[in-house]
Structure 1
Amino acid sequence: MSGRSRRGLVAISAALCLAVSGCGLESSFALPFEVAPGSIRPEPALEGVKVSVGSKDFTENIVLGYITEVALAAAGAEVNDMTNIQGSNSSRQALLTGDADLSWDYSGTGWISYLGNTEPIQGEREQYEAVREADLERNGLVWLDYTKVNNTYAFAVTREFAEANNLSTTSQMAELVKNDPGKGVFCLETEFISRNDGFPGVAQTYGFDAGAAQVKTFGSGTIYTATSDGLCNFGEVFTTDGRILALDLVVLEDDKKFFPQYNASLVLREEFHEQHPEIERIMTPVFEKLDNDTIIRLNAEVDVDGRDPAAVARDWMVGEGFVSIPDDTMAAGARR
C-alpha cells in the first residue's frame, strides 16, 4: 500500500472517529522526502518544533497543506502529515481540539458554515476581516492573512464561444442570453439551480430570466467536460479547478461580485500562534506568491497529470526559491 493510500485510510478513520466518539486524531506520517532551506528563508527558525498540519480531502486543500509542510520542514520543524481529513467539519474539529496545529480554510466557509451567518460580505478584504475577528473572539482561532486564491463560483465557457460572442464578464453573459435566449444553455448542479446564492440569485442580480434558460443538470465533476464538449454554453465551475486549464475554458468575471468570497487562509489556534509566531513570518512570502493562476496549475498537475500532491507542492516551492532539495536522487524517487 502506498504512503498516499495509507494516509487516506488514516484520514477516513480519523473522520469517523471525530464524528462518532470525538476521540483524538493520531498520525505518524512525515513528508516522503527531505527539503532544506532555500534562498528566501535560509535560517532553521523552527528547529525541533513539532507541527501537525491538517487539510481537507480535496486536491487544492491537500496541495496547500503540503506547501505548508514543505515550508515548515525546511525551517527545521518536525512535521506530522495529517492532510486529507474527510470533510470540512472534521478538519475544523481537528484544529479546534488540537489534533492538528494548523490547516487551510476559506473565508466564505468560515463565515457561513462555521460561524452560522446567512449573508456573505462582499469584498475579499471585508469578508476575510469579518471572519478573522469573529473566529478569534468566539473560538480562539487565528486566520493568517488571506491569499489571492479565491475558490468561489463562476460561469465558464469554451474559448471559441467566448471569442465568438465577445464574452469576458457575467454581465456580458446576461446581455447575450437576454438578446438571444437560444444561447442560454446552462450546465448546473442540482443544488445550484434552486439556491438563492446560486442560479436564481445570479439571474436576479444580473437581470436575466432564469426561467427562460435551458438548464441541464450534471454532477460537479462532469460539468467541465460537458461544457468543453458543447453540451451547454455556460457551465457552473469553481474558479480554481485544474480542469479549467486542462480544457482551456474561459472563466467569466463575476463583475457585480454576486458570489461569496472564498479566499484561502492558513488557520491556527491562538495559543499555538503565540508560541510560534515565526510560522507566520515563514509563510507570509509564500502567501504572496499564491493566486488563482498558480493554484489552478498545481491542481491540474494532480488531477489531470496524475502527480502526487506532495511532489507538486515541493517542486513549486523549489521553483520559487523557498526551499531546496538536499539529495537529488531521493527527490527523483519521490516524483511520479
Structure 2
Amino acid sequence: MKKSTKWLTGSVAFVSLSLSGCGYLGFGDSITIGAKSFTEQYILSEMTYFILEDAGYQVRQVENLGSNVLRSALENGQVDITWEYTGTAIATYLNMDPITDPDEAYSTLQEVDPENGLHWMNVSEVNNTYALIMNRAEAEDLGISSLSDLATYVNDNPGELNMGTDAAFANRADGLPGLEQTYGFEFGSGNVDYMDAGLLYEALYNGELSVAMGYETDARIDDYDQVILEDDEVFFAPYNAAVSIRLDVFEENPEIEELLQPLADLLDSEIMRGLNYEVDIERQSVTLVAYNFLVEAGLIEEDE
C-alpha cells in the first residue's frame, strides 16, 4: 500500500492545527480530512484518504474529534472535508426541526450550509439513525418486525416488554416520547431501563431487555443476531452520511465530488455495518478494511 502515515493521531494533529491557526489548503493540492471518534468515521476517513491519494492529492487526516469540534474545524478552515450525517447537521449544528424525508434533508443542507462556507455532496445510503432493536429469536417468536407491530403488542400486553435506552433518547422529542406518540403506545415508566448506550446491545442479548435503542449501522446488531424493527411510519429522522466540504475547497477542486461519488453510490447501512463488524468484532485494522474494500470494489488499484 502507498500509505505510510498512521491514523489515530487526530488529537495531536488537531492541537498542531489549532496552534498554527490555519489549514493545509493553499500548499499545493493538499487536503485535510476530518473524522469523529468512532469506527465508522475512521473507515470513511481512511477510504477517502486512499481515493484522494490515488488521485494525486497530498492528504492529511485529523481524527478523534467531537462533533462540534469537527464542525468548527470545517468552518474555520482547519479541516477541509469530512463525512457528516444529515440529521446531525440539521438538528445539532443548524438548530432546525428534524426533517424525516432524506432527500429533503440533504437538499436543505445544500441550500442552507453555503452560508456557513460549506458544500454538501456525495450523499450515501448509509443511515446511522436511531433504531429500536430486538433479539431476532424473540422478535420472530412474538411476530414483531416493525414498530407498528411493537406498538400493537405493547398495547395488547401491557407491562410485558421492557425497553432499554440512554437518558438522551428517553427525553428528546425525536426520541422515545415522540416515537410513542407517533405509534400510539407507551412502555410505561416502570418498563423503561436507563443505561449507557454502549451497554444496551449486550443487555438485550443477555435477556435483561426486550427492546433497546440502537444505531442502524452498529456492528453489534449483527454480532448478537439482533434485528432492527422497521420504522414503517417513518418517525426517525435520517442520518445519511454525506460529504461536507469547505466551499472554497470544492470550488478549487470540483473533481473531488466525481472522485468520491462511486464510493457514495456503493455504500449503504448494511455494507457499513459489515465494515464496522470487521473492525469492531473481528479486530481487523481500519486501514486494511478500508483498503481491501476499495480494491475489491475496483475503486483503487492494488499496489504491487
User: Normalized against structure 2, the TM-score is what?
Assistant: 0.92
Alpha-carbon RMSD across the aligned residues, in angstroms, is: 2.0
Does residue 53 (structure 1) correspond to residue 33 (structure 2)? The answer is yes
The 3 A distance-change label for structure 1 pair 99 and 161 is same
- After superposition, give the CA deviation of every residue in 1:280-311 in whole Å (9 maximum; x if it has no partner): 11111110000000100111111112222122
Does residue 100 (structure 1) correspond to residue 91 (structure 2)? The answer is no
Contact 1:181 1:212 in 2 (8 A): no
- After superposition, give the CA deviation of every residue in 1:147-199 in whole Å (9 maximum; x if it has no partner): 10111101000110111012211111111111112332111112222222211
User: Normalized against structure 1, the TM-score is what?
Assistant: 0.83
Distance in 1, Cα, partners of 2:13 & 2:199: 26
Query: How far did 1:238 drift?
Result: 0.6
Written as runs of structure 1 = structure 2, the 5 A alignment for 1:253-292 is 253-292=230-269
Partner of 1:116 in structure 2?
A: 95
Partner of 2:273 in structure 1?
A: 296
The 3 A distance-change label for structure 1 pair 22 and 181 is farther
1:202 maps to a residue whose letter is L
1:96 maps to a residue whose letter is E
1:94 maps to a residue whose letter is A
Distance in 2, Cα, partners of 1:310 & 1:13: 23
Q: 2:109 aligns with which of 131, 138, 162?
A: 131
- Residue 323 of structure 1 aligns to a residue whose secondary structure is coil
Query: How far did 1:144 drift?
Result: 0.2
2:296 maps to a residue whose letter is G
Distance in 1, Cα, partners of 2:87 & 2:186: 27
Partner of 1:36 in structure 2?
A: none
Contact 1:85 1:91 in 2 (8 A): no
Query: How far did 1:227 drift?
Result: 0.7
Distance in 2, Cα, partners of 1:50 & 1:145: 20
Could you list the structure 1 runs, at least 4 aligned residues long, displaced by more than 6 angstroms after superposition: none
Query: How far did 1:131 drift?
Result: 1.6
Does residue 87 (structure 1) correspond to residue 40 (structure 2)? The answer is no
Does residue 157 (structure 1) correspond to residue 134 (structure 2)? The answer is yes
Does residue 217 (structure 1) correspond to residue 182 (structure 2)? The answer is no
Bigger shift: residues 200-209 or 287-296: 200-209
Distance in 2, Cα, partners of 1:67 & 1:179: 48
Partner of 2:54 in structure 1?
A: 74
Bigger shift: residues 205-214 or 179-188: 205-214
Distance in 1, Cα, partners of 2:167 & 2:160: 20
Written as runs of structure 1 = structure 2, the 5 A alignment for 1:237-248 is 237-248=214-225
Identical-residue share of aligned pairs (%): 35
- Residue 182 of structure 1 aligns to a residue whose secondary structure is coil
Distance in 1, Cα, partners of 2:13 & 2:231: 35
For structure 1, the residue ranges without an aligned partner over 5 or more in a row are 27-47, 328-336
Contact 2:11 2:65 in 1 (8 A): no
Query: How far did 1:4 drift?
Result: 4.1
2:151 maps to a residue whose letter is A
Partner of 1:187 in structure 2?
A: 164
For structure 2, the residue ranges without an aligned partner over 5 or more in a row are none
Partner of 2:208 in structure 1?
A: 231
Bigger shift: residues 177-186 or 214-223: 177-186
Partner of 1:251 in structure 2?
A: 228
2:172 maps to a residue whose letter is R
- After superposition, give the CA deviation of every residue in 1:253-280 in whole Å (9 maximum; x if it has no partner): 1111111111110111111111111111
Contact 1:184 1:213 in 2 (8 A): no
1:123 maps to a residue whose letter is D
2:105 maps to a residue whose letter is Q
Query: How far did 1:212 drift?
Result: 6.0
Distance in 2, Cα, partners of 1:116 & 1:259: 17
Query: How far did 1:23 drift?
Result: 3.7
Query: How far did 1:225 drift?
Result: 0.6
1:201 maps to a residue whose letter is G
The 3 A distance-change label for structure 1 pair 276 and 241 is same
Distance in 1, Cα, partners of 2:261 & 2:177: 38
Distance in 1, Cα, partners of 2:13 & 2:134: 35
The 3 A distance-change label for structure 1 pair 8 and 308 is farther
Does residue 10 (structure 1) correspond to residue 18 (structure 2)? The answer is no
1:71 maps to a residue whose letter is I
Distance in 1, Cα, partners of 2:248 & 2:65: 25
Partner of 1:148 in structure 2?
A: 125
